Amino acid sequence: MKTFEDLVKEVQKPGLCHRCGGCVTFCSAVNYGALELDDNGRPRYKDVTRCIECGICHAICPEIDDLTDETRQNVDWKPPIGRILELTVARATDPQVHRQATDGGVVTGLILKLFDDNLIDGAIVTRPTGRFRREPHLALTRDEIINAAGFFFDTSHGMKNYSDQYLTYSTIEAFGAVIKKGVKRLVFVGTPCQIETVRRMQALCLVPSETIKYCFGLFCSGNFVFAEKQRKQLSAIGGFDWENVKKINIKEDLMIHLKDGKNIRIILDELEFMKRFACYFCRDYAAEMADISFGGVGAEDGWTSVIARTTIGKSILTDAKKSVLEACNYDNAASTAKKALKLVTKLSARKKKAASANRKALEAHAKNK
Protein backbone atom coordinates (compact mmCIF):
# COMPACT_ATOMS: atom_id res chain seq x y z
CA MET A 1 0.00 0.00 0.00
CA LYS A 2 1.34 3.41 -0.94
CA THR A 3 1.44 6.05 1.76
CA PHE A 4 1.86 9.78 2.17
CA GLU A 5 5.60 9.26 1.84
CA ASP A 6 5.02 8.05 -1.72
CA LEU A 7 2.85 11.11 -2.35
CA VAL A 8 5.75 13.28 -1.27
CA LYS A 9 8.12 11.43 -3.60
CA GLU A 10 5.82 11.16 -6.61
CA VAL A 11 3.89 14.42 -6.41
CA GLN A 12 5.35 16.99 -4.04
CA LYS A 13 9.06 16.62 -4.77
CA PRO A 14 8.68 17.02 -8.56
CA GLY A 15 6.50 20.11 -7.91
CA LEU A 16 3.22 18.56 -9.12
CA CYS A 17 1.16 19.18 -5.97
CA HIS A 18 -1.83 21.43 -6.80
CA ARG A 19 -2.35 22.11 -3.10
CA CYS A 20 -5.94 21.00 -3.50
CA GLY A 21 -5.83 19.79 0.10
CA GLY A 22 -7.68 16.56 -0.69
CA CYS A 23 -5.18 14.32 1.10
CA VAL A 24 -5.27 16.42 4.28
CA THR A 25 -9.04 16.86 4.12
CA PHE A 26 -9.72 13.14 4.16
CA CYS A 27 -7.12 12.41 6.83
CA SER A 28 -8.58 15.11 9.09
CA ALA A 29 -12.22 14.27 8.33
CA VAL A 30 -11.84 10.70 9.55
CA ASN A 31 -9.90 11.98 12.53
CA TYR A 32 -6.67 10.18 11.77
CA GLY A 33 -4.99 13.57 12.06
CA ALA A 34 -1.71 12.43 10.56
CA LEU A 35 -1.56 15.22 7.97
CA GLU A 36 -1.89 19.00 7.90
CA LEU A 37 -1.32 21.90 5.52
CA ASP A 38 1.67 24.10 6.22
CA ASP A 39 1.46 27.90 6.05
CA ASN A 40 1.95 27.76 2.29
CA GLY A 41 -0.83 25.25 1.78
CA ARG A 42 1.50 22.29 1.26
CA PRO A 43 0.46 19.02 2.87
CA ARG A 44 2.87 17.53 5.39
CA TYR A 45 2.90 15.09 8.29
CA LYS A 46 1.44 16.60 11.43
CA ASP A 47 1.94 13.45 13.44
CA VAL A 48 3.43 10.52 11.56
CA THR A 49 2.59 8.12 14.41
CA ARG A 50 -1.12 8.66 13.69
CA CYS A 51 -0.77 7.48 10.08
CA ILE A 52 -2.40 4.05 9.69
CA GLU A 53 -1.00 3.69 6.15
CA CYS A 54 -4.45 3.30 4.60
CA GLY A 55 -3.11 4.73 1.34
CA ILE A 56 -6.23 6.80 0.70
CA CYS A 57 -4.37 10.13 0.59
CA HIS A 58 -2.33 8.66 -2.25
CA ALA A 59 -5.32 7.23 -4.14
CA ILE A 60 -7.39 10.43 -4.15
CA CYS A 61 -4.60 12.76 -5.22
CA PRO A 62 -5.51 14.14 -8.66
CA GLU A 63 -1.90 13.61 -9.75
CA ILE A 64 -2.15 9.84 -9.18
CA ASP A 65 -3.88 7.94 -11.96
CA ASP A 66 -5.19 4.91 -10.03
CA LEU A 67 -8.77 6.23 -9.91
CA THR A 68 -8.87 8.07 -13.23
CA ASP A 69 -10.88 5.45 -15.14
CA GLU A 70 -13.39 4.94 -12.36
CA THR A 71 -14.03 8.66 -11.82
CA ARG A 72 -14.38 9.21 -15.55
CA GLN A 73 -16.89 6.39 -15.81
CA ASN A 74 -18.90 7.82 -12.93
CA VAL A 75 -19.49 11.09 -14.78
CA ASP A 76 -19.66 9.48 -18.22
CA TRP A 77 -16.62 11.46 -19.34
CA LYS A 78 -16.08 11.64 -23.08
CA PRO A 79 -13.08 12.83 -25.08
CA PRO A 80 -11.84 15.37 -25.91
CA ILE A 81 -13.14 17.70 -23.16
CA GLY A 82 -15.62 15.67 -21.12
CA ARG A 83 -19.33 15.14 -21.63
CA ILE A 84 -21.30 18.07 -23.01
CA LEU A 85 -25.07 17.99 -22.83
CA GLU A 86 -25.54 21.69 -23.48
CA LEU A 87 -23.52 24.86 -23.85
CA THR A 88 -25.30 28.13 -23.13
CA VAL A 89 -24.10 31.68 -22.69
CA ALA A 90 -26.11 33.29 -19.91
CA ARG A 91 -26.16 35.81 -17.08
CA ALA A 92 -27.95 36.20 -13.76
CA THR A 93 -31.13 38.29 -13.83
CA ASP A 94 -30.61 39.53 -10.26
CA PRO A 95 -28.81 42.91 -10.64
CA GLN A 96 -27.02 42.57 -7.30
CA VAL A 97 -25.58 39.19 -8.24
CA HIS A 98 -24.64 40.39 -11.70
CA ARG A 99 -22.92 43.52 -10.35
CA GLN A 100 -20.83 41.58 -7.88
CA ALA A 101 -19.95 38.64 -10.16
CA THR A 102 -16.82 37.78 -12.08
CA ASP A 103 -18.58 37.38 -15.40
CA GLY A 104 -22.33 36.85 -15.73
CA GLY A 105 -23.00 35.75 -12.13
CA VAL A 106 -24.35 32.40 -13.30
CA VAL A 107 -22.51 30.42 -10.61
CA THR A 108 -23.99 32.52 -7.83
CA GLY A 109 -27.40 32.70 -9.51
CA LEU A 110 -27.62 28.90 -9.70
CA ILE A 111 -26.46 28.39 -6.12
CA LEU A 112 -29.09 30.85 -4.89
CA LYS A 113 -31.81 29.12 -6.89
CA LEU A 114 -30.92 25.72 -5.41
CA PHE A 115 -30.82 27.31 -1.96
CA ASP A 116 -34.18 29.08 -2.37
CA ASP A 117 -35.76 25.85 -3.64
CA ASN A 118 -34.46 24.08 -0.53
CA LEU A 119 -32.42 21.64 -2.58
CA ILE A 120 -29.19 22.50 -0.76
CA ASP A 121 -28.22 23.69 2.72
CA GLY A 122 -25.36 25.84 1.39
CA ALA A 123 -22.25 25.93 -0.73
CA ILE A 124 -18.51 25.56 -0.35
CA VAL A 125 -17.09 28.70 -1.95
CA THR A 126 -14.24 31.13 -1.32
CA ARG A 127 -15.07 34.48 0.22
CA PRO A 128 -13.20 37.76 0.22
CA THR A 129 -11.75 38.55 3.65
CA GLY A 130 -9.80 41.73 3.15
CA ARG A 131 -7.48 43.46 0.77
CA PHE A 132 -6.03 40.80 -1.57
CA ARG A 133 -7.39 37.95 0.52
CA ARG A 134 -9.90 35.17 0.08
CA GLU A 135 -10.58 32.18 2.26
CA PRO A 136 -12.52 28.95 1.99
CA HIS A 137 -16.01 29.27 3.28
CA LEU A 138 -19.05 27.18 3.94
CA ALA A 139 -21.81 29.61 2.93
CA LEU A 140 -25.08 28.81 4.69
CA THR A 141 -27.11 31.96 4.01
CA ARG A 142 -28.15 33.91 0.89
CA ASP A 143 -25.91 36.82 1.90
CA GLU A 144 -22.89 34.58 2.36
CA ILE A 145 -23.47 33.02 -1.06
CA ILE A 146 -23.76 36.45 -2.74
CA ASN A 147 -20.73 37.84 -0.91
CA ALA A 148 -18.57 35.03 -2.29
CA ALA A 149 -19.32 36.01 -5.90
CA GLY A 150 -16.52 37.42 -7.99
CA PHE A 151 -13.01 36.44 -8.85
CA PHE A 152 -10.39 39.06 -8.28
CA PHE A 153 -11.47 42.38 -7.04
CA ASP A 154 -14.05 44.92 -7.69
CA THR A 155 -13.89 48.29 -5.99
CA SER A 156 -17.59 48.04 -5.17
CA HIS A 157 -16.47 45.78 -2.37
CA GLY A 158 -13.23 47.49 -1.64
CA MET A 159 -10.35 45.75 -3.42
CA LYS A 160 -10.73 42.75 -1.21
CA ASN A 161 -11.82 40.29 -3.79
CA TYR A 162 -8.54 38.68 -4.64
CA SER A 163 -5.79 37.00 -2.82
CA ASP A 164 -2.05 37.47 -3.03
CA GLN A 165 -1.56 33.73 -2.96
CA TYR A 166 -4.41 32.56 -5.10
CA LEU A 167 -4.34 28.94 -4.02
CA THR A 168 -6.91 26.42 -5.10
CA TYR A 169 -6.75 24.30 -1.99
CA SER A 170 -8.79 26.99 -0.31
CA THR A 171 -12.29 25.72 -0.93
CA ILE A 172 -11.61 22.12 0.00
CA GLU A 173 -10.41 23.28 3.40
CA ALA A 174 -13.98 24.31 4.19
CA PHE A 175 -14.90 20.62 4.41
CA GLY A 176 -13.90 20.73 8.08
CA ALA A 177 -16.80 23.06 8.87
CA VAL A 178 -19.18 20.78 6.96
CA ILE A 179 -18.55 17.98 9.38
CA LYS A 180 -18.78 20.15 12.49
CA LYS A 181 -22.04 21.79 11.40
CA GLY A 182 -23.60 18.56 10.20
CA VAL A 183 -24.81 19.94 6.86
CA LYS A 184 -25.80 17.32 4.34
CA ARG A 185 -26.53 18.90 0.93
CA LEU A 186 -24.00 21.20 -0.66
CA VAL A 187 -22.78 22.71 -3.89
CA PHE A 188 -19.01 22.62 -4.23
CA VAL A 189 -17.49 25.39 -6.37
CA GLY A 190 -13.93 24.78 -7.48
CA THR A 191 -11.26 24.73 -10.11
CA PRO A 192 -10.85 21.57 -12.23
CA CYS A 193 -8.17 20.11 -9.91
CA GLN A 194 -10.44 20.53 -6.89
CA ILE A 195 -13.39 18.96 -8.67
CA GLU A 196 -11.18 16.02 -9.66
CA THR A 197 -10.25 15.42 -6.01
CA VAL A 198 -13.87 15.58 -4.89
CA ARG A 199 -14.83 13.09 -7.61
CA ARG A 200 -12.13 10.70 -6.42
CA MET A 201 -13.34 10.99 -2.84
CA GLN A 202 -16.86 10.30 -4.07
CA ALA A 203 -15.68 7.27 -6.06
CA LEU A 204 -14.39 5.77 -2.80
CA CYS A 205 -17.44 7.01 -0.82
CA LEU A 206 -15.15 8.91 1.55
CA VAL A 207 -16.45 11.30 4.17
CA PRO A 208 -17.33 14.12 3.77
CA SER A 209 -17.72 13.95 -0.03
CA GLU A 210 -21.20 12.44 0.24
CA THR A 211 -22.43 15.92 1.24
CA ILE A 212 -21.49 17.30 -2.18
CA LYS A 213 -24.64 17.01 -4.25
CA TYR A 214 -23.51 19.24 -7.11
CA CYS A 215 -20.02 20.03 -8.41
CA PHE A 216 -19.71 23.44 -10.09
CA GLY A 217 -16.36 23.69 -11.92
CA LEU A 218 -14.62 26.86 -13.11
CA PHE A 219 -12.63 26.90 -16.34
CA CYS A 220 -8.99 27.34 -15.46
CA SER A 221 -5.91 28.33 -17.40
CA GLY A 222 -3.84 28.49 -14.24
CA ASN A 223 -3.54 29.73 -10.74
CA PHE A 224 -1.67 33.01 -10.61
CA VAL A 225 0.16 34.48 -7.66
CA PHE A 226 -0.69 38.14 -7.06
CA ALA A 227 1.86 38.96 -4.38
CA GLU A 228 3.42 42.42 -4.29
CA LYS A 229 6.32 41.56 -6.58
CA GLN A 230 4.04 40.03 -9.20
CA ARG A 231 1.57 42.93 -8.96
CA LYS A 232 4.39 45.40 -9.63
CA GLN A 233 5.59 43.48 -12.66
CA LEU A 234 2.06 43.11 -14.00
CA SER A 235 1.27 46.81 -13.73
CA ALA A 236 4.52 47.54 -15.59
CA ILE A 237 3.53 45.13 -18.38
CA GLY A 238 0.00 46.53 -18.67
CA GLY A 239 0.97 50.16 -18.00
CA PHE A 240 -1.69 50.67 -15.33
CA ASP A 241 -1.86 51.69 -11.70
CA TRP A 242 -3.51 49.26 -9.26
CA GLU A 243 -5.34 52.14 -7.60
CA ASN A 244 -7.13 52.69 -10.91
CA VAL A 245 -8.26 49.07 -11.28
CA LYS A 246 -11.98 48.32 -10.96
CA LYS A 247 -12.14 44.64 -11.77
CA ILE A 248 -10.08 41.75 -13.11
CA ASN A 249 -11.10 38.53 -14.78
CA ILE A 250 -9.52 35.81 -16.89
CA LYS A 251 -10.94 34.83 -20.23
CA GLU A 252 -8.74 34.02 -23.23
CA ASP A 253 -6.54 36.82 -21.90
CA LEU A 254 -6.27 38.56 -18.54
CA MET A 255 -8.79 41.41 -18.59
CA ILE A 256 -8.10 44.47 -16.44
CA HIS A 257 -11.02 46.87 -16.22
CA LEU A 258 -10.04 50.36 -15.13
CA LYS A 259 -12.16 52.88 -13.27
CA ASP A 260 -11.90 55.34 -16.18
CA GLY A 261 -13.67 52.81 -18.43
CA LYS A 262 -10.52 51.62 -20.23
CA ASN A 263 -9.93 47.88 -20.54
CA ILE A 264 -6.46 46.36 -20.72
CA ARG A 265 -5.88 42.87 -22.14
CA ILE A 266 -2.71 40.99 -21.29
CA ILE A 267 -2.12 37.71 -23.09
CA LEU A 268 -1.77 34.79 -20.71
CA ASP A 269 1.65 33.89 -22.13
CA GLU A 270 2.90 37.11 -20.50
CA LEU A 271 1.74 35.86 -17.09
CA GLU A 272 4.06 32.85 -17.00
CA PHE A 273 6.17 34.55 -14.32
CA MET A 274 3.24 34.49 -11.91
CA LYS A 275 1.80 31.06 -12.72
CA ARG A 276 1.97 28.39 -10.07
CA PHE A 277 4.49 25.68 -10.98
CA ALA A 278 2.06 22.71 -10.70
CA CYS A 279 -0.34 24.39 -13.14
CA TYR A 280 2.16 23.91 -15.98
CA PHE A 281 1.37 20.19 -15.82
CA CYS A 282 -2.40 20.40 -15.54
CA ARG A 283 -4.49 18.98 -18.41
CA ASP A 284 -7.99 20.14 -17.50
CA TYR A 285 -9.15 23.56 -18.71
CA ALA A 286 -12.91 23.13 -18.80
CA ALA A 287 -13.62 21.38 -15.48
CA GLU A 288 -14.37 18.17 -17.33
CA MET A 289 -15.57 16.23 -14.26
CA ALA A 290 -18.09 18.79 -12.99
CA ASP A 291 -21.89 18.71 -13.18
CA ILE A 292 -21.76 22.18 -14.70
CA SER A 293 -18.68 24.13 -15.85
CA PHE A 294 -18.41 27.92 -16.10
CA GLY A 295 -16.04 30.42 -17.68
CA GLY A 296 -15.90 33.84 -19.24
CA VAL A 297 -14.23 32.65 -22.40
CA GLY A 298 -16.45 32.66 -25.48
CA ALA A 299 -18.89 35.08 -23.86
CA GLU A 300 -19.04 38.86 -24.09
CA ASP A 301 -18.23 40.92 -21.01
CA GLY A 302 -20.85 40.41 -18.30
CA TRP A 303 -21.86 36.94 -19.52
CA THR A 304 -20.79 33.41 -18.58
CA SER A 305 -20.28 30.39 -20.85
CA VAL A 306 -21.97 27.46 -19.16
CA ILE A 307 -21.54 23.76 -19.98
CA ALA A 308 -24.05 21.29 -18.54
CA ARG A 309 -22.27 17.95 -18.32
CA THR A 310 -24.43 15.58 -16.29
CA THR A 311 -28.20 15.09 -16.42
CA ILE A 312 -28.54 16.68 -12.99
CA GLY A 313 -26.47 19.65 -14.20
CA LYS A 314 -28.63 20.04 -17.28
CA SER A 315 -31.86 19.95 -15.30
CA ILE A 316 -30.57 22.64 -12.90
CA LEU A 317 -29.65 24.83 -15.86
CA THR A 318 -32.95 24.28 -17.70
CA ASP A 319 -34.91 25.12 -14.60
CA ALA A 320 -32.84 28.24 -13.91
CA LYS A 321 -33.29 29.57 -17.44
CA LYS A 322 -36.99 29.91 -16.68
CA SER A 323 -36.30 32.13 -13.68
CA VAL A 324 -32.91 33.33 -12.41
CA LEU A 325 -30.93 33.22 -15.66
CA GLU A 326 -31.23 35.07 -18.91
CA ALA A 327 -29.82 33.23 -21.93
CA CYS A 328 -27.81 35.40 -24.28
CA ASN A 329 -29.66 37.38 -26.91
CA TYR A 330 -26.86 39.68 -28.01
CA ASP A 331 -26.29 37.47 -31.01
CA ASN A 332 -27.82 34.38 -32.47
CA ALA A 333 -27.85 32.10 -29.38
CA ALA A 334 -26.97 28.91 -31.26
CA SER A 335 -24.04 30.43 -33.12
CA THR A 336 -22.78 32.10 -29.91
CA ALA A 337 -22.80 28.71 -28.17
CA LYS A 338 -21.07 27.07 -31.12
CA LYS A 339 -18.34 29.72 -31.17
CA ALA A 340 -17.85 29.42 -27.39
CA LEU A 341 -17.56 25.63 -27.63
CA LYS A 342 -14.99 25.92 -30.40
CA LEU A 343 -12.90 28.27 -28.29
CA VAL A 344 -13.16 26.14 -25.12
CA THR A 345 -12.17 23.06 -27.16
CA LYS A 346 -9.19 24.91 -28.63
CA LEU A 347 -7.98 26.20 -25.26
CA SER A 348 -8.46 22.76 -23.68
CA ALA A 349 -6.39 21.13 -26.42
CA ARG A 350 -3.69 23.76 -26.00
CA LYS A 351 -3.55 23.15 -22.24
CA LYS A 352 -3.33 19.37 -22.65
CA LYS A 353 -0.59 19.70 -25.25
CA ALA A 354 1.46 22.08 -23.09
CA ALA A 355 0.99 19.83 -20.03
CA SER A 356 2.27 16.76 -21.93
CA ALA A 357 5.31 18.63 -23.22
CA ASN A 358 6.05 20.03 -19.75
CA ARG A 359 5.73 16.57 -18.16
CA LYS A 360 8.15 15.10 -20.69
CA ALA A 361 10.61 17.90 -19.99
CA LEU A 362 10.25 17.36 -16.24
CA GLU A 363 10.85 13.61 -16.58
CA ALA A 364 13.89 14.21 -18.80
CA HIS A 365 15.24 16.70 -16.26
CA ALA A 366 14.75 14.18 -13.41
CA LYS A 367 16.57 11.45 -15.40
CA ASN A 368 19.51 13.71 -16.15
CA LYS A 369 19.95 14.74 -12.54
Ligand X SMILES: Cc1cc2nc3c(=O)[nH]c(=O)nc-3n(C[C@H](O)[C@H](O)[C@H](O)COP(=O)(O)OP(=O)(O)OC[C@H]3O[C@@H](n4cnc5c(N)ncnc54)[C@H](O)[C@@H]3O)c2cc1C
Min separation Cβ 322 and ligand SF4, Å: 32
- By the 8 A CB rule, do 282 and 351 touch? yes
Strand order in the sheet with 245-250: 245-250, 253-258, 263-267
User: What does 102 interact with, of ligand X, ligand SF4, none (CB < 5 to 8 A by kind)?
Assistant: ligand X
What 3-state class would DSSP assign to 83? coil
User: What does 192 interact with, of ligand SF4, ligand X, none (CB < 5 to 8 A by kind)?
Assistant: ligand SF4
Neighbours of 145 (CB within 10 A): 26
What 3-state class would DSSP assign to 103? coil
Asked if 288 touches ligand SF4 (CB under 6 A), the answer is no
Closest residue to ligand SF4: CB criterion: 282
Q: Can you tell me the distance from the alpha carbon of 99 to that of 149, in angstroms, rounded to the nearest whole number?
A: 9
Asked if 63 touches ligand SF4 (CB under 6 A), the answer is yes
Q: Which residue(s) pair with 50 in the sheet?
A: none
Asked if 71 touches ligand SF4 (CB under 6 A), the answer is no
User: What does 218 interact with, of ligand X, ligand SF4, none (CB < 5 to 8 A by kind)?
Assistant: ligand X
User: What does 106 interact with, of ligand X, ligand SF4, none (CB < 5 to 8 A by kind)?
Assistant: ligand X
Binding mask 20-59 for ligand SF4 (x = CB under 6 A): xxxx-------------------x----------------
Asked if 223 touches ligand SF4 (CB under 6 A), the answer is yes
Candidates 139, 144, 137, 140; CA nearest to 171 is: 137
Whichever of 126 and 336 has its CB closer to ligand SF4, that residue is 126
Min separation Cβ 317 and ligand X, Å: 12
Asked if 18 touches ligand SF4 (CB under 6 A), the answer is yes
Q: Can you tell me the distance from the alpha carbon of 45 to that of 29, in angstroms, rounded to the nearest whole number?
A: 15
Asked if 348 touches ligand SF4 (CB under 6 A), the answer is no
Whichever of 133 and 283 has its CB closer to ligand SF4, that residue is 283
Q: Which residue(s) pair with 125 in the sheet?
A: 137
Min separation Cβ 110 and ligand X, Å: 8
User: What does 226 interact with, of ligand SF4, ligand X, none (CB < 5 to 8 A by kind)?
Assistant: none
Positions in 185-204 near ligand SF4 (CB under 6 A) = 191-193, 197
Q: Can you tell me the distance from the alpha carbon of 147 to that of 149, in angstroms, rounded to the nearest whole number?
A: 6
Asked if 290 touches ligand SF4 (CB under 6 A), the answer is no
Whichever of 12 and 108 has its CB closer to ligand X, that residue is 108
Asked if 83 touches ligand SF4 (CB under 6 A), the answer is no
- Reported in sequence order, the residue ranges of 16-77 that DSSP labels E, i.e. its strands, are 35-37, 43-45
Q: Please give the torsion angle defined by the CA atoms of residues 150, 273, 269 and 243, in that order, rounded to the nearest 10 degrees.
A: 40
Min separation Cβ 8 and ligand SF4, Å: 8
Name the residues that contact ligand X, by CB under 6 A.
101-108, 125-126, 148-151, 166, 168, 170-171, 189-191, 218-221, 223, 249-251, 294-297, 304
User: What does 215 interact with, of ligand SF4, ligand X, none (CB < 5 to 8 A by kind)?
Assistant: none
Q: Please give the torsion angle defined by the CA atoms of residues 249, 223, 191 and 164, in that order, rounded to the nearest 10 degrees.
A: -70
Candidates 242, 215, 239, 216; CA nearest to 228 is: 242
Asked if 347 touches ligand SF4 (CB under 6 A), the answer is no
Please spell the DSSP secondary structure of 117-174, one letter per residue: TTS-SEEEEEEEEETTEEEEEEE-SHHHHHHT--SS-BGGGTT-S--SB--THHHHHT
Q: Summarize as ranges the residues that interact with ligand SF4 (CB under 6 A).
A: 7, 11, 17-23, 43, 61-63, 168, 191-193, 197, 220, 222-223, 278-279, 282, 284
